[in-house]
Protein backbone atom coordinates (compact mmCIF):
# COMPACT_ATOMS: atom_id res chain seq x y z
CA UNK A 1 0.00 0.00 0.00
CA UNK A 2 1.19 3.51 -0.75
CA UNK A 3 2.40 5.29 2.38
CA UNK A 4 0.23 8.34 1.70
CA UNK A 5 -2.87 6.26 1.24
CA UNK A 6 -2.06 4.39 4.40
CA UNK A 7 -1.67 7.57 6.42
CA UNK A 8 -4.52 9.37 4.69
CA UNK A 9 -6.91 6.51 5.26
CA UNK A 10 -6.44 6.61 9.02
CA UNK A 11 -9.41 7.69 11.05
CA UNK A 12 -9.26 11.26 12.18
CA UNK A 13 -11.29 13.41 14.56
CA UNK A 14 -10.91 16.23 12.04
CA UNK A 15 -13.28 16.93 9.23
CA UNK A 16 -11.11 19.75 7.89
CA UNK A 17 -8.22 21.09 9.88
CA UNK A 18 -7.71 24.26 7.87
CA UNK A 19 -10.52 26.00 9.73
CA UNK A 20 -8.39 25.93 12.87
CA UNK A 21 -5.42 27.47 11.11
CA UNK A 22 -4.40 31.01 12.11
CA UNK A 23 -4.50 32.16 8.54
CA UNK A 24 -8.09 31.17 7.99
CA UNK A 25 -10.36 34.21 8.09
CA UNK A 26 -13.83 33.27 9.35
CA UNK A 27 -16.93 34.96 7.92
CA UNK A 28 -18.18 35.55 11.38
CA UNK A 29 -16.18 37.02 14.26
CA UNK A 30 -18.18 36.63 17.49
CA UNK A 31 -17.75 39.40 20.07
CA UNK A 32 -16.04 41.77 17.70
CA UNK A 33 -19.10 43.60 16.36
CA UNK A 34 -18.23 46.82 18.16
CA UNK A 35 -14.68 46.86 16.86
CA UNK A 36 -15.75 46.04 13.32
CA UNK A 37 -18.33 48.81 13.43
CA UNK A 38 -15.76 51.28 14.77
CA UNK A 39 -13.44 50.59 11.87
CA UNK A 40 -16.32 50.76 9.39
CA UNK A 41 -17.56 54.04 10.86
CA UNK A 42 -14.30 55.73 9.81
CA UNK A 43 -13.67 53.83 6.63
CA UNK A 44 -17.14 54.55 5.27
CA UNK A 45 -15.85 58.02 4.30
CA UNK A 46 -13.93 56.36 1.49
CA UNK A 47 -17.20 55.45 -0.21
CA UNK A 48 -18.04 59.14 -0.38
CA UNK A 49 -14.71 59.88 -2.00
CA UNK A 50 -13.21 61.34 1.18
CA UNK A 51 -9.94 60.05 2.66
CA UNK A 52 -10.85 58.44 6.00
CA UNK A 53 -9.04 59.42 9.20
CA UNK A 54 -6.16 57.23 10.25
CA UNK A 55 -6.97 54.61 12.85
CA UNK A 56 -4.86 52.88 15.44
CA UNK A 57 -5.89 49.48 16.64
CA UNK A 58 -4.56 48.37 20.00
CA UNK A 59 -4.88 45.16 21.90
CA UNK A 60 -3.04 42.24 23.37
CA UNK A 61 -2.02 39.30 21.26
CA UNK A 62 -4.80 37.08 19.91
CA UNK A 63 -7.59 39.59 20.47
CA UNK A 64 -8.63 39.55 16.82
CA UNK A 65 -6.93 42.71 15.54
CA UNK A 66 -5.58 41.21 12.35
CA UNK A 67 -8.76 39.22 11.75
CA UNK A 68 -10.96 42.31 12.14
CA UNK A 69 -8.76 44.45 9.91
CA UNK A 70 -8.78 41.81 7.19
CA UNK A 71 -12.49 41.32 7.56
CA UNK A 72 -13.10 45.06 7.21
CA UNK A 73 -10.83 45.10 4.17
CA UNK A 74 -12.81 42.34 2.48
CA UNK A 75 -16.06 44.15 3.13
CA UNK A 76 -14.79 47.52 1.97
CA UNK A 77 -13.34 46.02 -1.19
CA UNK A 78 -16.54 44.29 -2.08
CA UNK A 79 -18.79 47.28 -1.50
CA UNK A 80 -16.52 49.69 -3.33
CA UNK A 81 -16.51 47.40 -6.31
CA UNK A 82 -20.30 47.25 -6.14
CA UNK A 83 -20.60 51.02 -5.88
CA UNK A 84 -17.81 51.58 -8.35
CA UNK A 85 -15.72 53.77 -6.04
CA UNK A 86 -11.98 53.95 -6.50
CA UNK A 87 -10.69 52.45 -3.24
CA UNK A 88 -7.80 50.07 -2.67
CA UNK A 89 -6.82 48.41 0.59
CA UNK A 90 -3.25 47.17 0.98
CA UNK A 91 -2.18 45.01 3.89
CA UNK A 92 1.44 44.89 5.08
CA UNK A 93 2.83 42.95 7.99
CA UNK A 94 5.66 45.08 9.27
CA UNK A 95 7.50 42.14 10.78
CA UNK A 96 8.08 40.96 7.20
CA UNK A 97 8.97 44.42 5.86
CA UNK A 98 10.88 46.05 8.65
CA UNK A 99 11.95 49.47 7.41
CA UNK A 100 10.29 52.46 5.78
CA UNK A 101 12.12 51.64 2.55
CA UNK A 102 10.94 48.03 2.54
CA UNK A 103 7.33 48.84 3.36
CA UNK A 104 7.07 51.43 0.64
CA UNK A 105 8.82 49.17 -1.86
CA UNK A 106 6.39 46.43 -0.91
CA UNK A 107 3.44 48.77 -1.36
CA UNK A 108 4.67 49.67 -4.83
CA UNK A 109 5.09 46.00 -5.67
CA UNK A 110 1.64 45.10 -4.44
CA UNK A 111 0.34 47.87 -6.63
CA UNK A 112 2.14 46.50 -9.66
CA UNK A 113 5.15 48.84 -9.69
CA UNK A 114 8.45 47.00 -9.83
CA UNK A 115 10.64 48.54 -7.14
CA UNK A 116 13.69 46.64 -5.84
CA UNK A 117 13.95 45.83 -2.13
CA UNK A 118 17.40 47.34 -2.02
CA UNK A 119 19.66 49.55 -4.06
CA UNK A 120 17.54 52.64 -4.53
CA UNK A 121 17.60 55.60 -2.19
CA UNK A 122 14.68 56.10 0.11
CA UNK A 123 13.73 59.24 -1.81
CA UNK A 124 13.57 57.29 -5.05
CA UNK A 125 11.25 54.70 -3.56
CA UNK A 126 8.98 57.35 -2.08
CA UNK A 127 8.97 59.10 -5.42
CA UNK A 128 7.92 55.92 -7.22
CA UNK A 129 5.14 55.45 -4.71
CA UNK A 130 3.81 58.99 -5.06
CA UNK A 131 4.03 58.71 -8.82
CA UNK A 132 1.35 56.04 -8.68
CA UNK A 133 -1.00 58.79 -7.57
CA UNK A 134 0.38 61.62 -9.68
CA UNK A 135 0.20 59.65 -12.87
CA UNK A 136 -3.24 58.34 -11.97
CA UNK A 137 -2.08 54.80 -12.53
CA UNK A 138 -5.22 53.62 -10.78
CA UNK A 139 -7.52 56.21 -12.20
CA UNK A 140 -8.41 59.58 -10.75
CA UNK A 141 -9.08 60.15 -7.06
CA UNK A 142 -7.81 56.85 -5.83
CA UNK A 143 -8.20 56.45 -2.08
CA UNK A 144 -5.57 54.14 -0.68
CA UNK A 145 -6.13 52.46 2.65
CA UNK A 146 -2.98 50.95 4.13
CA UNK A 147 -3.09 48.45 6.97
CA UNK A 148 0.24 48.40 8.80
CA UNK A 149 0.03 45.33 10.99
CA UNK A 150 2.48 44.70 13.85
CA UNK A 151 4.00 48.13 13.48
CA UNK A 152 5.74 48.30 16.90
CA UNK A 153 9.16 46.92 16.07
CA UNK A 154 9.41 48.92 12.85
CA UNK A 155 8.73 52.15 14.70
CA UNK A 156 11.17 51.27 17.39
CA UNK A 157 14.00 50.28 15.06
CA UNK A 158 13.42 52.49 12.05
CA UNK A 159 11.72 55.51 13.58
CA UNK A 160 8.53 57.19 12.48
CA UNK A 161 9.71 58.11 8.97
CA UNK A 162 7.23 55.69 7.43
CA UNK A 163 4.28 57.37 9.10
CA UNK A 164 5.72 60.76 8.22
CA UNK A 165 5.89 59.85 4.55
CA UNK A 166 2.48 58.22 4.41
CA UNK A 167 0.63 60.93 6.30
CA UNK A 168 2.11 63.37 3.81
CA UNK A 169 0.83 61.50 0.82
CA UNK A 170 -2.56 62.72 -0.24
CA UNK A 171 -5.47 60.28 -0.37
CA UNK A 172 -3.76 57.80 1.92
CA UNK A 173 -5.37 56.56 5.11
CA UNK A 174 -3.42 54.44 7.55
CA UNK A 175 -4.66 51.78 9.92
CA UNK A 176 -1.83 50.81 12.24
CA UNK A 177 -2.10 47.76 14.43
CA UNK A 178 -0.09 47.40 17.59
CA UNK A 179 -0.07 45.34 20.73
CA UNK A 180 2.37 47.45 22.57
CA UNK A 181 0.38 50.06 24.43
CA UNK A 182 3.31 52.40 24.60
CA UNK A 183 4.09 52.38 20.92
CA UNK A 184 3.27 56.04 20.42
CA UNK A 185 6.37 56.97 22.36
CA UNK A 186 8.24 56.21 19.15
CA UNK A 187 6.25 58.76 17.18
CA UNK A 188 7.53 62.32 17.25
CA UNK A 189 5.18 65.28 17.63
CA UNK A 190 5.58 66.37 13.99
CA UNK A 191 4.03 63.07 12.90
CA UNK A 192 1.57 62.78 15.76
CA UNK A 193 -0.07 66.02 14.72
CA UNK A 194 -0.63 64.92 11.14
CA UNK A 195 -1.65 61.42 12.08
CA UNK A 196 -5.30 62.30 12.49
CA UNK A 197 -5.84 59.07 14.22
CA UNK A 198 -8.70 57.47 16.10
CA UNK A 199 -8.00 54.72 18.53
CA UNK A 200 -9.87 51.44 18.67
CA UNK A 201 -9.19 49.19 21.61
CA UNK A 202 -9.52 45.42 21.52
CA UNK A 203 -10.13 44.06 25.00
CA UNK A 204 -9.01 40.50 25.82
CA UNK A 205 -11.68 37.82 25.38
CA UNK A 206 -13.11 36.26 28.49
CA UNK A 207 -13.64 32.52 28.86
CA UNK A 208 -17.28 32.61 27.73
CA UNK A 209 -16.46 34.61 24.63
CA UNK A 210 -13.69 32.16 23.78
CA UNK A 211 -16.18 29.30 24.12
CA UNK A 212 -18.37 30.97 21.48
CA UNK A 213 -15.41 31.48 19.18
CA UNK A 214 -14.20 27.91 19.55
CA UNK A 215 -17.68 26.42 19.06
CA UNK A 216 -18.05 28.20 15.78
CA UNK A 217 -14.66 27.11 14.50
CA UNK A 218 -14.98 23.53 15.78
CA UNK A 219 -18.24 22.96 13.90
CA UNK A 220 -16.33 23.49 10.68
CA UNK A 221 -13.24 21.54 11.60
CA UNK A 222 -14.17 18.53 13.76
CA UNK A 223 -16.37 15.52 13.01
CA UNK A 224 -19.64 15.57 14.92
CA UNK A 225 -19.52 14.45 18.51
CA UNK A 226 -15.80 13.82 18.84
CA UNK A 227 -15.17 16.53 21.43
CA UNK A 228 -15.77 15.44 24.98
CA UNK A 229 -18.09 17.74 26.93
CA UNK A 230 -15.55 19.94 28.67
CA UNK A 231 -12.90 20.15 25.97
CA UNK A 232 -13.98 23.53 24.61
CA UNK A 233 -14.63 25.14 28.01
CA UNK A 234 -11.24 23.91 29.18
CA UNK A 235 -9.41 25.34 26.16
CA UNK A 236 -11.32 28.59 26.67
CA UNK A 237 -10.52 28.78 30.37
CA UNK A 238 -6.83 28.15 29.78
CA UNK A 239 -6.68 30.78 27.05
CA UNK A 240 -8.62 33.27 29.15
CA UNK A 241 -5.85 32.96 31.69
CA UNK A 242 -3.35 33.69 28.93
CA UNK A 243 -4.81 37.17 28.57
CA UNK A 244 -7.76 36.13 26.42
CA UNK A 245 -5.70 34.98 23.49
CA UNK A 246 -7.95 33.41 20.84
CA UNK A 247 -4.97 32.13 18.88
CA UNK A 248 -3.84 30.19 21.90
CA UNK A 249 -7.34 28.79 22.39
CA UNK A 250 -7.40 27.60 18.78
CA UNK A 251 -3.92 26.10 19.10
CA UNK A 252 -4.99 24.19 22.19
CA UNK A 253 -8.02 22.80 20.44
CA UNK A 254 -6.15 21.83 17.31
CA UNK A 255 -3.26 20.24 19.19
CA UNK A 256 -5.69 18.30 21.39
CA UNK A 257 -7.28 16.89 18.25
CA UNK A 258 -3.89 16.01 16.83
CA UNK A 259 -3.04 14.18 20.03
CA UNK A 260 -6.27 12.20 19.74
CA UNK A 261 -5.33 11.21 16.18
CA UNK A 262 -1.83 10.29 17.25
CA UNK A 263 -3.17 8.05 19.98
CA UNK A 264 -5.73 6.54 17.64
CA UNK A 265 -8.58 7.82 19.83
CA UNK A 266 -11.95 8.62 18.31
CA UNK A 267 -12.67 11.10 21.06
CA UNK A 268 -10.82 14.22 22.20
CA UNK A 269 -10.56 14.04 25.98
CA UNK A 270 -9.90 16.81 28.48
CA UNK A 271 -6.57 15.25 29.37
CA UNK A 272 -5.38 15.82 25.83
CA UNK A 273 -6.00 19.53 26.33
CA UNK A 274 -3.68 19.53 29.33
CA UNK A 275 -1.09 17.65 27.36
CA UNK A 276 -1.52 20.06 24.46
CA UNK A 277 -0.88 22.98 26.78
CA UNK A 278 2.49 21.62 27.85
CA UNK A 279 3.45 20.80 24.31
CA UNK A 280 2.57 24.26 23.00
CA UNK A 281 4.28 26.13 25.78
CA UNK A 282 7.41 24.15 25.37
CA UNK A 283 7.49 24.84 21.64
CA UNK A 284 6.73 28.51 22.03
CA UNK A 285 9.60 29.17 24.38
CA UNK A 286 12.00 26.99 22.39
CA UNK A 287 11.14 28.84 19.18
CA UNK A 288 11.66 32.25 20.70
CA UNK A 289 14.93 31.32 22.31
CA UNK A 290 16.32 29.82 19.14
CA UNK A 291 15.96 33.12 17.35
CA UNK A 292 17.47 35.28 20.10
CA UNK A 293 20.94 36.71 19.48
CA UNK A 294 23.51 35.24 21.86
CA UNK A 295 23.96 38.39 23.99
CA UNK A 296 20.21 38.47 24.44
CA UNK A 297 20.28 34.85 25.55
CA UNK A 298 22.88 35.71 28.15
CA UNK A 299 20.58 38.38 29.54
CA UNK A 300 17.75 35.88 29.72
CA UNK A 301 20.01 33.35 31.37
CA UNK A 302 20.90 35.94 33.98
CA UNK A 303 17.23 36.64 34.65
CA UNK A 304 16.60 32.93 35.02
CA UNK A 305 19.50 32.61 37.44
CA UNK A 306 18.25 35.47 39.62
CA UNK A 307 14.68 34.19 39.51
CA UNK A 308 15.77 30.79 40.75
CA UNK A 309 17.63 32.45 43.60
CA UNK A 310 14.40 34.32 44.36
CA UNK A 311 16.21 37.62 44.13
CA UNK A 312 14.47 40.84 43.24
CA UNK A 313 15.74 41.72 39.76
CA UNK A 314 16.71 45.33 39.25
CA UNK A 315 18.48 46.37 36.08
CA UNK A 316 21.65 47.05 38.06
CA UNK A 317 21.74 43.63 39.62
CA UNK A 318 20.89 42.05 36.28
CA UNK A 319 23.79 43.81 34.61
CA UNK A 320 26.23 42.54 37.24
CA UNK A 321 25.14 38.94 36.78
CA UNK A 322 25.06 39.31 33.01
CA UNK A 323 28.67 40.56 33.02
CA UNK A 324 29.72 37.45 34.92
CA UNK A 325 27.88 35.19 32.48
CA UNK A 326 29.20 36.82 29.34
CA UNK A 327 32.80 36.61 30.57
CA UNK A 328 34.08 39.93 29.35
CA UNK A 329 32.27 39.80 26.03
CA UNK A 330 29.45 42.02 27.24
CA UNK A 331 27.49 44.94 25.88
CA UNK A 332 27.08 48.31 27.62
CA UNK A 333 24.69 48.96 30.48
CA UNK A 334 22.56 51.15 28.21
CA UNK A 335 22.16 48.41 25.64
CA UNK A 336 20.78 46.13 28.34
CA UNK A 337 17.69 48.31 28.47
CA UNK A 338 17.02 47.62 24.79
CA UNK A 339 17.35 43.91 25.47
CA UNK A 340 14.97 44.15 28.41
CA UNK A 341 12.49 45.96 26.19
CA UNK A 342 12.69 43.35 23.47
CA UNK A 343 12.33 40.45 25.89
CA UNK A 344 9.26 42.17 27.26
CA UNK A 345 7.76 42.56 23.80
CA UNK A 346 8.32 38.85 23.23
CA UNK A 347 6.35 38.20 26.39
CA UNK A 348 9.19 36.41 28.16
CA UNK A 349 9.48 38.96 30.95
CA UNK A 350 7.52 41.84 32.39
CA UNK A 351 8.79 44.99 34.02
CA UNK A 352 7.29 47.37 36.48
CA UNK A 353 8.51 50.58 38.00
CA UNK A 354 8.28 50.89 41.74
CA UNK A 355 8.93 53.80 43.99
CA UNK A 356 11.27 53.17 46.88
CA UNK A 357 9.77 56.00 48.87
CA UNK A 358 10.55 59.64 49.20
CA UNK A 359 13.91 60.79 47.88
CA UNK A 360 15.00 57.32 46.85
CA UNK A 361 13.75 57.50 43.29
CA UNK A 362 12.20 54.82 41.16
CA UNK A 363 13.47 51.40 40.24
CA UNK A 364 12.66 48.99 37.45
CA UNK A 365 11.84 45.48 38.59
CA UNK A 366 11.98 42.60 36.13
CA UNK A 367 9.83 39.50 36.39
CA UNK A 368 10.14 36.30 34.41
CA UNK A 369 6.85 35.53 32.64
CA UNK A 370 7.42 31.89 31.81
CA UNK A 371 7.98 28.76 33.77
CA UNK A 372 11.59 28.44 34.99
CA UNK A 373 11.80 24.73 34.23
CA UNK A 374 10.42 25.23 30.76
CA UNK A 375 12.91 27.97 30.08
CA UNK A 376 15.77 25.92 31.41
CA UNK A 377 14.82 22.99 29.16
CA UNK A 378 14.57 25.24 26.16
CA UNK A 379 17.95 26.84 26.82
CA UNK A 380 19.53 23.50 27.33
CA UNK A 381 18.08 22.18 24.08
CA UNK A 382 19.40 25.18 22.27
CA UNK A 383 22.98 24.70 23.44
N1 LIG B 1 -13.93 36.87 17.31
C2 LIG B 1 -13.27 35.88 16.71
N3 LIG B 1 -13.93 34.88 16.10
C4 LIG B 1 -13.27 33.86 15.48
N5 LIG B 1 -11.95 33.76 15.43
C6 LIG B 1 -11.23 34.73 16.02
C7 LIG B 1 -11.84 35.83 16.68
N8 LIG B 1 -10.87 36.63 17.19
C9 LIG B 1 -9.72 36.04 16.85
N10 LIG B 1 -9.92 34.92 16.15
C11 LIG B 1 -8.91 34.02 15.62
O12 LIG B 1 -7.86 33.94 16.57
C13 LIG B 1 -6.60 34.01 15.93
C14 LIG B 1 -5.86 35.23 16.42
O15 LIG B 1 -6.51 36.41 15.99
P16 LIG B 1 -5.70 37.61 15.34
O17 LIG B 1 -4.59 37.07 14.52
O18 LIG B 1 -6.67 38.51 14.67
O19 LIG B 1 -5.12 38.29 16.66
P20 LIG B 1 -4.26 39.61 16.80
O21 LIG B 1 -4.98 40.49 17.74
O22 LIG B 1 -3.92 40.13 15.45
O23 LIG B 1 -2.95 39.06 17.53
P24 LIG B 1 -1.42 39.56 17.42
O25 LIG B 1 -1.33 40.80 18.21
O26 LIG B 1 -0.64 38.46 18.05
O27 LIG B 1 -1.13 39.74 15.97
C28 LIG B 1 -6.88 34.02 14.44
O29 LIG B 1 -6.81 32.71 13.95
C30 LIG B 1 -8.30 34.54 14.34
O31 LIG B 1 -8.95 34.01 13.21
MG1 LIG C 1 -2.15 40.24 14.41
- The model's pLDDT over 74-114, given as tens digits with 9 standing for 90+, comes to 999 999 999 999 999 999 999 999 999 999 999 999 999 88
- pTM score, whole prediction: 0.82
Q: 3-7, 37-41, 68-72, 241-245: which has the minimum mean pLDDT?
A: 3-7
Query: Are 268 and 345 in a shared domain?
Result: no
Q: Could you tell me if residue 9 is inside a domain? A: no
What pLDDT is recorded for position 139? 81
Structural domain of 222:
205-289
> 368: domain CATH number?
1.10.10.10
> 278: domain CATH number?
1.10.8.60
Q: Is the CB of 56 under 6 A from ligand 1?
A: no
Please list all protein residues whose beta carbon sits less than 5 angstroms from ligand 2, which is an ion: 66
Q: Mean pLDDT across the chain, nearest whole number?
A: 91
* Distance of CA 60 from the midpoint of ligand 2 (Å): 9
Q: Could you tell me if residue 334 is inside a domain? A: yes
Pairing state between β 54-59 and 197-202: parallel
- The model's pLDDT over 290-306, given as tens digits with 9 standing for 90+, comes to 888 888 999 999 999 99
Segment 322-327 shows an average pLDDT of 89
Q: Is the CB of 257 under 6 A from ligand 1?
A: no
Alpha-carbon torsion 244, 23, 99, 75, what sign?
Answer: negative
Of all ligands present, the nearest one to the C-alpha of 71 is: 1
Query: Are 89 and 39 in a shared domain?
Result: yes
**CA distances in angstroms from 144 to 43, 45, 200, 328, listed in the order given:** 11, 12, 20, 52
Q: Could you tell me if residue 25 is inside a domain? A: no
If one counts the domains in the chain, the total is 3
Q: Could you tell me if residue 164 is inside a domain? A: yes
- The model's pLDDT over 30-69, given as tens digits with 9 standing for 90+, comes to 999 999 999 999 999 999 999 999 999 999 999 999 999 9
* Rounded (10°) angle between helices 372-382 and 294-308: 140
Q: Distance between CA atoms of 255 and 249, rounded to whole angstroms? A: 10
- Where among 268, 289, 310 does a domain terminate? 289
Q: Could you tell me if residue 121 is inside a domain? A: yes
Report which protein residue has its CA nearest ligand 1's atom 8: 64
Segment 104-125 shows an average pLDDT of 93
Residue 322 has pLDDT above 80, yes or no: yes
The conformation of residue 132, written as its DSSP 8-state character, comes to: H
Query: Are 297 and 349 in a shared domain?
Result: yes
With the most atoms of ligand 1 within 8 angstroms of its CB, the residue from 20, 247, 284 to mutate is 247
- Local confidence band at 159 (pLDDT 50, 70, 90 cut-offs): confident
With the most atoms of ligand 1 within 8 angstroms of its CB, the residue from 18, 246, 345 to mutate is 246
Q: Is the CB of 29 under 6 A from ligand 1?
A: yes
Query: Are 278 and 189 in a shared domain?
Result: no
> Of all residues in the chain, what percent carry a pLDDT higher than 70?
97
Amino acid sequence: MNIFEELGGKNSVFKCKKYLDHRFLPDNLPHRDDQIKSVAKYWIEALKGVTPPDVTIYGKTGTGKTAVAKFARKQLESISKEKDVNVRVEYIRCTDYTTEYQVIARLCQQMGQDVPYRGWTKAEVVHAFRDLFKKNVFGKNLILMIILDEIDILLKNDGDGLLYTLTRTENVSIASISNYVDFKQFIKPRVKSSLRDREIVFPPYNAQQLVDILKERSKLSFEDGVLNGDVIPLCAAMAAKEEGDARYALDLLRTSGELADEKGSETVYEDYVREAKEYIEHNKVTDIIMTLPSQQQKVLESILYLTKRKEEITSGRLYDVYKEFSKGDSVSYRRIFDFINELEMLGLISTKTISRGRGKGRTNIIDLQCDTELLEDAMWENN
